[in-house]
Structure 1
Amino acid sequence: MKKIEIYTDGSCLENPGFGGWAYILCYKKHQKEGFGAKADTTNNQMELQAIIEALKALKEPCEIALFTDSNLMVRSINEWLEGWVKKDFKGKKNVMLWKEYLTLAKDHKIKAFWIKAHNGHELNERCDHLAKTAALTLKEETKNCN
């Protein structure tokens, strides 16, 4: 199994509001970036969407070290998700996104790690920039269409 690192971030201009997501996949000396945006979303949805989109970009099962500045995502993936599944997500938010995550994650070995936001970590800062730029671009495009 290839060992890769994934860095992700989600951003929301208001909560809810225009949001953006971004990821960076790292394998050996190679990097791949992805980003996108959505209107009427939340920061947590964009954080999870970034992870989902990164997993979609993988072509084979991998051992993944996932780095995010969202403690909620780290704890959800590492600690809580198994229990949510046993209780059929009763009372949980973003169930469809979590189910999509589970479908995409099933062939991988994933361990999530928290990194401090806005602390100078190059790849976290890059994801933050890509996610915010995507959200701002969508907001501007929407404003110009009205």
Structure 2
Amino acid sequence: MWQSEQTPSLVSLGVLVNPDGSVRAAGGLLVQLLPGADPEWARRLEANARSLAGISRRVDDGLSPAGMAERVLEGFDSRILAEGEVRFACGCSRARVEGLLAALGREELTRMLEEDGGAELTCRFCGERYNFGADDLRRLLLREA
């Protein structure tokens, strides 16, 4: 992050895996200093973060995100402004993928129709598969006309 965003950042991630390969606990934190922050703050944050060594174990022991924040920000004038559930969400949809197909242009859509009789696209973020049959491609071709 120092190179990509030029922002001093503290990142701590962990995953605790069961013997069968399933995830038992996972967690992480990201703390970034604002521009102009005292460089000593970075050293203090690092020292505080060391108390969370093995962050996935802390999650497994029941340490909440607020508890993590309190520990890593100990000694700083800080407060939690908002809380929310963190979960994976992909923004893909059939309509969005259809738009990508249409952007390929008439020539490529015609080739897909003639050679493959349809198209299957897979979202690289979530793995959702979208199938477009011959009728779907014909409809896109009519729309492109």
The TM-score with structure 1 as length reference comes to: 0.23
Instruction: Report the structure, 1 or 2, having the larger strand content.
Output: 1
* Higher relative contact order, chain-length normalized (CA < 8 Å, sep 6+): 1
> Which structure: larger Rg?
2
With normalisation by structure 2, the TM-score equals 0.23
